[in-house]
Amino acid sequence: MARSMKVKQSEEPMAGIAQRIRKARDARGWSQEETAVRAEVSRPTIARIERGDDVSTATLVKVISALGLTVEVAEAGQAAATRRAAEP
């Protein structure tokens, strides 16, 4: 069963996504370096994402996919990360 991790309206969208990405990485026991290798991005890029800095959509999708997450676009235009039913 997929679990929705929606971004609260009071949160900046990127800050909410950043927090969920960090939690997913920590839950897997991955370092920023390991996450970067799996996502085919640099370690500083993972650090920027986790700080809530802006990155390209393509980069964000790579990281989210590597972590086994998906992105949904809610009716209000906010993004919500959703854990896939099948863990990597």
Question: Which is higher by pLDDT, 33 or 1?
Answer: 33
pLDDT above 50: residue 1: no
Residue 52: what are its φ and ψ, rounded to 5°? 90, 10
Strand partners of residue 14: none
- Bridge partners, 81 (sequence order): 5, 71
Q: What is the pLDDT of residue 85?
A: 44
Specify the pLDDT at position 60: 93
Q: Choose among 15, 11, 2: nearest CA to 76.
A: 11
Q: Rounded to two decimals, what is the model's pTM? A: 0.71
Q: How far is CA 68 from CA 9, 14, 87, in A?
A: 24, 18, 6
What pLDDT shows up at residue 56? 92
| pLDDT at residue 86, rounded to an integer | 43
Average pLDDT over all residues of the chain = 79
For 21-53, what is each residue's pLDDT tens digit?
999 999 999 999 999 999 999 999 999 999 999
Give the strands of the sheet with 3-6, arranged side by side: 3-6, 79-83, 69-73
